[in-house]
Structure 1
């Protein structure tokens, strides 16, 4: 179970890093992804097991591929 939590945290850190690099606030990013801000916050804290559809939304909003989003995760 610790390994699962680990990947959730790594993914969340990656999303946060890319979001900040592009100058998005958490609220603005959530709006562009058409997701709730609290959901994005949960992802970034590693508390959410994100659905593939939402991973794709996040990648599209960042203007990158899903593979690029997962790089280093």
Structure 2
């Protein structure tokens, strides 16, 4: 399973889900689904999210130990 730190990074920047969604061009519901691990973003979307946060993809997404 691919985990992420989106919620933490949003909190550090005081961004809402809607603000992040607007920055990357997707819906707020998509951000919710990614944060709750119901949806794994495409590589392109993962890059867009990383660019929005100005961090590398590996600072956001990581593989959970099984």
TM, length-normalised to structure 1: 0.76
> Per chain length, whose mean CA-contact separation is higher, i.e. which structure has more relative contact order (CA < 8 Å, sep 6+)?
2
Counterpart of 2:6 in structure 1 is 15
Paired residue for 1:33? 24
Aligned length: 64
Shift of 1:49: 1.7
In structure 1, list runs of 5 or more residues that go unmatched: none
The normalised TM-score by structure 2 is 0.83
Q: Which runs of at least 4 in structure 1 moved beyond 6 Å after TM superposition?
A: none
The answer to which structure has the higher strand fraction is: 2
